[in-house]
Amino acid sequence: MKQTLVIQLKMPLDERQLDLPAELLKEGKTVAFPTETVYGLGANALDAHAIDGIFKAKGRPSDNPLIVHISDVDMLKVLILEKQPYVDDLMRAFWPGPMTFIFRKKDTIDACVSGGLDTVGVRMPKHPVALSLIRKAGLPIAAPSANISGKPSPTQAKYVLEDLMGRVDCILEGEDCEVGLESTVLDVTGETPIILRPGAIGAEDIIGVVGACDVDPATLNHDHGEDILARSPGMKYKHYAPDAEVTVFIGDIAKMLQQMTAAIKRAELQNECIGLMIFEEDALILEKMLEGVNKDSYRLCTQGSIKHLETFAKQLFKDLRALDAHGCKRILIHGVEKDKYAHAIMNRLYKASEGRLIHC
């Protein structure tokens, strides 16, 4: 067990609160901090011993590479070899922000950071705490999501404490994360950028800047071949999974609500509780369908409006964790299609549900 220093950040941010955590990073320690996507667990990207601390704390497989976070484009010089001409436009458009670029790496980046690949992922976060912490440490900071490997990424400080207390040197307790899904991972080593992990910045946003963007087929469904796995090692691990069994429904909403109602009625007979993640448009209809059913047999987490999927993205991981904590053994989710956020959300839902997708 480690002694974990917990610092509650005051808002508006008093940057002096980051002096000590920045010193800890310089000493090779591990510090969890908020970013605009999810909380990250940081350590000096140029110190293999510090990186080992991240892998141990998370129980992370060693072939899953880490993203290196920077506060200034000048920091790129020590990390990467050449960059494609179009990347400057992408950096101007999306940095700082929820976008990770995959470059060919320099030898300064140890194989333990890159998972043995010859590339490295780099992101400049937008969150003022993350940016200021990296600037104060004066170092590139490797930071995966601040969860135990395999669990949903933490979008609230309380889940970082739950997973990493006693495992890391310091936790910065800030506000809830604004985006709620991890950054878009974009391979920019070739002539056309390729999305390896979908996020809030989608293919159409990238096409809007550089005119072209490919999407790794592995991001579109759950079953993917070994060749695809080799490109983005993180894709092969069971990610984002709560303890409960997750089922995702897409298609006809009336049929979906009927199936959900039937499942809840079965759960009522067995004294179980079903977790539900549906949109506010449907919540009232479902509650009407459930009139007379014992309220202990379901727990409803409303995902805002289906017209504004930002709310769903922001709440997804925290609601999966909350429904687990409530003791739900099954979680039923209204999946999404044909929206800017749908690719990123469904990518997480495929993994959380291990492919349990029902077309209604």
Binding residues for Mg ion, per CB under 5 A? 145
- Give 120: exposed, middle or buried? Use CB within 10 Å, 0-12, 13-18, 19+: buried
HSE-up of residue 284 (Cα within 13 Å, Cβ side): 4
Nearer CB in complex with ligand TXA: 234/275:
234
- Per CB under 6 A, contacts with ligand TXA among 40-59 are 40
Among 117, 309, 316, 328, binds ligand TXA (CB under 6 A): 117
What's the alpha-carbon Rg for the chain, to the nearest Å?
A: 21
Nearer CB in complex with ligand TXA: 332/346:
346
Among 119, 189, 302, 315, binds ligand TXA (CB under 6 A): 119
Q: Which long-range contacts (CB under 8 A, 24 or more apart) does 21-29 make?
A: 21/133, 21/170, 21/172, 22/133, 22/136, 22/137, 24/169, 24/170, 25/50, 25/133, 25/137, 25/139, 25/141, 26/137, 26/138, 26/139, 28/53, 29/53, 29/169, 29/170
User: At its nearest, how many Å lie between Mg ion and the CB of residue 145?
Assistant: 3
User: At its nearest, how many Å lie between ligand TXA and the CB of residue 48?
Assistant: 16
Among 57, 75, 87, 102, binds ligand TXA (CB under 6 A): 102
What are the respective helix, strand and coil percentages of the chain, to the nearest 5? 40, 20, 45
- Name the token pair of 8: 């509650």
67 part of the interface to ligand TXA, by CB under 6 A: yes
35 part of the interface to ligand TXA, by CB under 6 A: yes
Total of chain residues touching ligand TXA, rule CB under 6 A = 29
User: At its nearest, how many Å lie between Mg ion and the CB of residue 70?
Assistant: 19
Among 9, 18, 21, 37, binds ligand TXA (CB under 6 A): 37
DSSP state of 106: P
The contact mask relative to ligand TXA for 151-190 (x = CB under 6 A, - = no) is -------------------------------xx-x-----
250: enclosing H helix or E strand:
strand 245-250
Residues forming contacts to ligand TXA in the complex (CB under 6 A) are 35, 37-38, 40, 64-67, 98, 100, 102, 114, 117, 119-121, 123, 125, 143-145, 182-183, 185, 196-197, 232-234
